[in-house]
Structure formats: C-alpha cells, structure tokens
Structure 1
Amino acid sequence: MTVSYDDVRAAAARLEGRIRRTPVFRGDDGVWFKLEHTQHAGSFKTRGMVNQILAAGTLPDAGIVAASGGNAGLAAAYAARESGVRAEVFVPATAPAVKVAKLGKLGAHVVQVGNEYAEAYEAAVVHAAATGARFCHAYDDPDMVAGNGTLGLELLDQIPGGFDTVLVAVGGGGLIAGVIAALGSAHRVVAVEPVSASALHAALAAGAPVDVPVSGVAADSLGARRVGRIAFDMAAGIPSVLVDDQAIIDARRRLWDDYRQAVEHGTAAAYAALTSGAYVPAPGERAVVLLCGANTNPADLA
C-alpha cells in the first residue's frame, strides 16, 4: 500500500486553514530545521489526524477512538474537539504524565492500558468495535500519511535554494511515509531510529514488517513494536540509521542550549543522527532535520 503525491496535495487542500504552516530556520552549522513541534497539539500528527477525520465524512455518535504513546492521542483529541465529536484515547501506563494531562485538557477521555503502544492499540480496536466509534490509526492509514506529508510540501516552498536531504525520526512510520510521498525521488529521505526501538530498520533488514522489542528514552513516541505496512512499502531503499539513547539525550540538550528548542526525546533522534555521526552528509549536502514533537516535560532542560 502506498500514498501518492496527489494524495498529499488533496490533503493539503482539505487542511487549508485548519493546521499551522510551521516555520523553518537555518542553524549555525548550516542545517535547516522544520519546527513542526509548534503544530497544534504539539506534533506533526495533528496534520494526519485532522485529515483522517475530515476524509471520513460523517462520524458515528460514539465519536472516535485512537491508540497512542501520546502524540497521536493528542492530535486525535484536538481534531475531535475542533470537529465537535467525542474522543476516547487509549495510552499505555508508561505514557508521560505531561501527555496524559494534556489529553484531558483537550477534552478526551483517557484509558491507560498495558505498558506498550501495542497493548493500548489492541484494547482500542476492541473498544471501537464494541461501541461503533471510528478507530483512527496513529500511523498506518493512507489519510493519516497523506496529511502528515503536507509538511513536506511546505518545505519545498520554504527553503531558499532548495535542499537535498531530510532526516526523519521514525516510530510507526506515518511521518516518513508522508514525507516520501510529498518529496518523491528528487530528495533523499533518511530514517532515524533509536537502537532500542528500531521497527523500520528491522523490517528493511528482514524484508517484511517484524515485531521488535521496545525500550529507551524515546519509547513513548517512537515505540511502535512493528512498523506500518504503508511505511514499509514506501521506504524500500532509503538510508536507515540508528542512534543510541545517549546520542538522543545529547542532541535534545544541544537543541535547547543552542537554539532554545524544547523537544521530546523522539524528536531529538533525528538531530542525533547528525550530532553523533550516524549520518554524515557529503560535502555541500543541504540537510533538513524535522523537529516533529514537543510534548515533553522540559524540567530537565533548565
């Protein structure tokens, strides 16, 4: 299953006036940053979730159900509130308190189940079937992917002189699949994952999506046990690199110290590919790092 450039363009038209056009800036080392963590509800997933809900048309009286490590749930809660429907969000017990609290502020009913996203997902699917609510997938849905890809269209307009490479943190793969759909083969898209949560990397090595163990500092946002089928189908042949927890922690701290950007650990993984040397751009290569989520407790950055 794949998502096309035309699908992303259709999503952009649907989302017009409903999501933020997030800014970019150029860092001291020449790297560009896309500040998608300033999106409504604090992450890129709002693009995909709003598009998924709008594309569905009329929603059932029971509203929507989503499963999430946090960010997709926040996006679902925001999208549901804006659409005037009920949202019920299943998250693992390990979801950060800052994300759970924000879900409540957005009006969602929160159910905490299990210790991993996969367990919350299973419970959410059962609940949606029992209540008649519409289940909104956090990443492996064509409308979700197309909506996420709209940030790639913005990049094409925003960076003077163009760019060569985009580094994308990967969990379930809904963001990287959207970026690939938007940018096509004219740009290099690099997948970046934690060593301890590497569902896409493992799938590319195995030739099919496989289950992987999940742990580490970025597990709350990049902790999909298995990559989505759409992302796997679209990511064949792209560079895939891994970064360890310390590299992620260091990159997150550097984003704060150098640029006063407070992001979650999963977001910092993309920058960690550069700061740790896991990905080394060629001379003259123009790189963009997607900063995709800010739903974090910034207390440890003070």
Structure 2
Amino acid sequence: MPAASPLYHETPLVYSKHTSAALDANVYLKLDVLQPSQSYKYRGLSHFIQKAVEAHGAGVHLVAASGGNAGLATACAGNALGVRRTIFLPRGAAASTLAFFRMEGAEVREVGSCYQDALGAAEALVAAEEHAVLVPAYDNPVLWEGHASMIEETARQLPSGVKPDAVICCVGGGGLAGGVMLGCKTVGWDDVPFIAMETLGSNCFYQSLSLNAGPFPASPLPPIEGTEAVHDSTYDVDFARLAKLNSRASSLGASWPSPGVVKMALDRKGGVTSVCVSDEMAMQTAVKFADEHKIMVELACATTLAPAYSKELFDKLVPPKPSGEPRNVVFIVCGGFMVSVSQLMEYFNIAAAEKSLAWEVLCNGERWEIAK
C-alpha cells in the first residue's frame, strides 16, 4: 500500500526585501506560520499521528497534555483523520484556547494546576486504554523526522546553487531544532551553521550545552543556581532541568530539553551557535516584524527573528564574507496561535519602557551587550 500523503502543507520560502536591505544579506523566511494549526508543530505531530493511525487503525485514541501549539496541532491533525482526540490541560486556560481546541472537535479536560498534573492524567488514560496513544510534544524521533521536511522543502525552494550561510530558529524542548538538524543532514547541509535562539528566562537548551564538553570555550561548566544537571544514559549526555521559568515566551517553556537533540547538537559537524536574548528584545522584534511583514507571531517565534532587527547581532552571528559576497540566511518563522493584536500593543509598551542602552545577549558562553 502506498504511503499516505502528508497532512502538513508545503509552506512558502519568501525573500524578505525589508530584512535583506537592513542586514545587507539575502534573507529568506520559511513561513511555517501557515500550517493548519498556525505553527510548525503541525508538521511533526501530523506525521506522528499518521504513523499512530497506521499502527492502531481508525480506532486509535490520541491523547495529549498541552494547552498550546502541540495540543492544537494534535486536535487539527486528528480532526483531519477523523480519529478521537482528548487534550488535557491545567485549569485556568484562556477561553479562546479552549474554543480553538473544541472547534477542531477535540475533547478537552482541565486537570490540576500545572502541566505535570495534566500530563499525569493523560498518562493514566493511555495506560487504561488499549488503543490510546500519548502524543509527544517534542521528545520523539518521529516528530523530528516530520519537522525535517521543512528543510527539505527549503533546499528545493532556494534559488539554484544557493546554500545558506546559516539557518536560524528558536529552541525550547528541542523538537524543532532536532528537525532542523536532521533535515540539514539529509540535504547535505550538516556543515551549515545552525543558530538556536532562546530567551534568557527559558534557556534549558543553552544551559544543557554548557554542561557538556565542546560547544562553549570553557565547557563543561557547573550548573547555575536553580538548575539541576541530569545525566541521560541512553545518549550519554548531561542536560539541565530548570526549577523555574522566567519568560513570557511560553512556547519555549520546557523545563528540560530532549537529550537526543542535545546529543545531535554536540555531534553536529557544523556545530550549534546557542543564543539567548531578553523577552523585551523579542517583544520589540514581534512588533517590528508585524509592522514590516504584516504577520503576527508568538514571542517564541519572535525570538528567532531577533537578529533580523539588530545588524550588530546579526553580523556577530553571521560574519560578513571576506569576499564581499552577500550572505544567504534562512529564518524559520515557526508561528504559533497564542498571539493577538492586544498582546502586540502590550509588547510595544513594555519594550518602549526598557530604558537601558543595550540588550543583554548570551552566545556560547559569552556575554554581549548589543546596542539598541
């Protein structure tokens, strides 16, 4: 039997005249904000769900613990296939979030006060039902395989003969990063620099890299206060477990990253440049991107785009070529449905009230001050 066609869409790769002119580079935007659930999550999760339906049949019961983009992607993909879906999330979710899930025909159960409560309830349901499958948010190779398709598309969509000088995306738990690195390896870009962006208050990936030998000049480093170093025996890496998250970029809000993705980053031929910016810098970026490109993105996605609105930061991350040839860079515009006009107005006011003369940025163990 031939393989089923993917549920995810091939999204446009758009040349950005605004950003290219500002950065003196050829800047391409991979618009995964245009997936059916409004985020890249739909790629990997729809791929995982199609595999689950193949394995369990139409009677499969998809179960997820997520009040965010993973939950909505599960609801959308399951709806497309006509299978049952139950989404667990902590009590107190916004009415608009619940409405999105129910619009897709998903059963929604509000349980407990935190994500761990919702996850525990989801795991209990899966244990009790023969054909129930727990849908992972980010830590699963099948997800990475689905997300990798965006790089395979990008390689086809770039002008003939163009190989990027960098691929830039945000990272939380590592699902998107794993897909990008896997996709780069598939298309022969394993040597292309990969720049992973996080916020300072939600940077489990950055902290995990610092615990291992290699990626930072002084690593391995001891865990910082409030962070637990955990060893994963399967991949033989250390990863950071954060006790508390202090960022409004909720879609980056993983307390720990996938150990498999950390291992992939440590072993990657082209390495990984791990960067952390402030919430306020990401907020300013979200407003500027909406103003220039007429696209609203979540704060997590805006973190990806922060170098697009600071030439100083961009030049440090992707140095100009000695030959003077233009740099070619791909930004993954991963999207997210939890954004609104009122939030962007709030972001504008918060960023405007930030009176310091420079943005604090961390990069592979170094601390930079980037002029505003």
Q: TM above 0.5, one fold?
A: yes
Question: Closer, same or farther in 2 for the Cα pair 1:33/1:97, shift >3 Å?
Answer: farther
Equivalence for 2:319: 282
The CA deviation string for residues 131-158 of structure 1, in whole angstroms up to 9 with x for no partner, is 3411110111111110011001011011
**Which residue does the alignment assign to 1:108?**
106
Correspondent of 1:199 among 201, 204, 212: 204
Counterpart AA for 1:26: Y
- 1:176 maps onto 2:184 in alignment: no
Query: What one-letter code is carried by the residue in structure 1 that aligns with 2:165?
Result: D
List alignment gaps of at least 5 residues for structure 2. Answer: 21-26, 213-237, 321-325, 346-372
1:131 pairs with one of 129, 132, 137 = 129
Tell me the CA shift for residue 54 of structure 1.
1.8
Which amino acid in 2 is paired with 1:45?
A: K
- Taking structure 1 as reference, are residues 298 and 225 closer, same or farther at Cα in structure 2, changes over 3 Å only? same
Question: How high is the TM-score relative to the length of structure 2?
Answer: 0.72
Whether 1:262 and 2:252 are equivalent positions in the alignment is no
- 1:168 corresponds to which letter in structure 2? C
Amino acid at match of 2:120: E
Asked if structure 1 preserves the Cα contact closer than 8 Å seen for 2:63 and 2:126, the reply is yes
CA contact (8 A) 2:19 2:308 kept: no
Shift of 1:111: 2.4
Q: Offset of 1:91 from its aligned partner?
A: 2.5
Distance 2:51 2:101 in 1: 23
> What CA deviation, in whole Å up to 9, does each residue of 1:192-239 have, x standing for no partner?
1111111111111123122112232211x1111110122112112411
TM-score (norm 1): 0.88
Is the CA contact (8 Å cut-off) linking 1:94 and 1:116 kept in structure 2?
Answer: no
Cα pair 2:69 2:336 within 8 Å, conserved = no
Is it true that 1:44 corresponds to 2:40 in the alignment?
yes
The AA in structure 1 aligned to 2:9 is R
The verdict on how the C-alpha distance between 1:272 and 1:295 changes in structure 2, with shifts beyond 3 A counting, is same
Counterpart position of 1:224: 254
Contact between 2:138 and 2:175, CA under 8 Å: does it hold in 1?
Answer: yes
Letter in 1 for 2:173: G
Is 2:141 aligned against 1:142? yes
Contact 1:65 1:135 in 2 (8 A): yes
Specify the structure having the higher radius of gyration (Cα).
2
Residues in 1 aligned to 2:117 and 2:254: alpha-carbon distance in whole angstroms: 10
Query: What 5-or-longer segments of structure 1 have no aligned partner?
Result: 1-12
Alignment map for 1:55-94 (pairs within 5 Å): 55-56=51-52, 57-59=54-56, 61=59, 63-93=61-91
Secondary structure (helix, strand or coil) at the match of 1:176 reads helix
* Deviation at residue 242 of structure 1 after TM alignment: 0.2
Counterpart amino acid of residue 282 in structure 1: P
- Work out whether residues 98 and 296 of structure 1, in 8 Å CA contact, stay in contact via their aligned partners in 2: no
Q: Is the 8 A contact 1:145 1:175 kept in 2?
A: yes
Decide whether the 8 Å contact of 1:48 with 1:146 is kept in 2: yes
- What SS does the aligned partner of 2:88 have? strand
CA distance in 2, matches of 1:155, 1:75: 22
Where relative contact order (Cα < 8 A, 6+ residues apart) is larger, the structure is 1
Distance 1:44 1:62 in 2: 23
2: CA distance, partners of 1:14 / 1:269: 36
Q: Secondary structure at the match of 1:41?
A: coil
Retained in 2: the 8 A contact 1:15–1:47? Answer: no
In structure 2, what is the equivalent of residue 9 of structure 1? none
| Further displaced range: 187-196 or 49-58 | 49-58
Q: What is the alpha-carbon root mean square deviation over aligned residues?
A: 2.1
Give the count of matched residue pairs: 289
Task: Please state how far the C-alpha of 1:125 moved relative to its aligned partner.
Answer: 1.9
Partner residue of 1:23 out of 12, 37, 55 = 12
Select which of 46, 49, 52 maps to 1:53: 49
How much does 1:65 deviate? 0.6
Which deviates further from its counterpart, 83-92 or 275-284?
275-284
Change over 3 Å in CA distance of 1:15–1:288 after alignment to 2: farther
Q: 1:215 aligns with which of 241, 246, 249?
A: 246
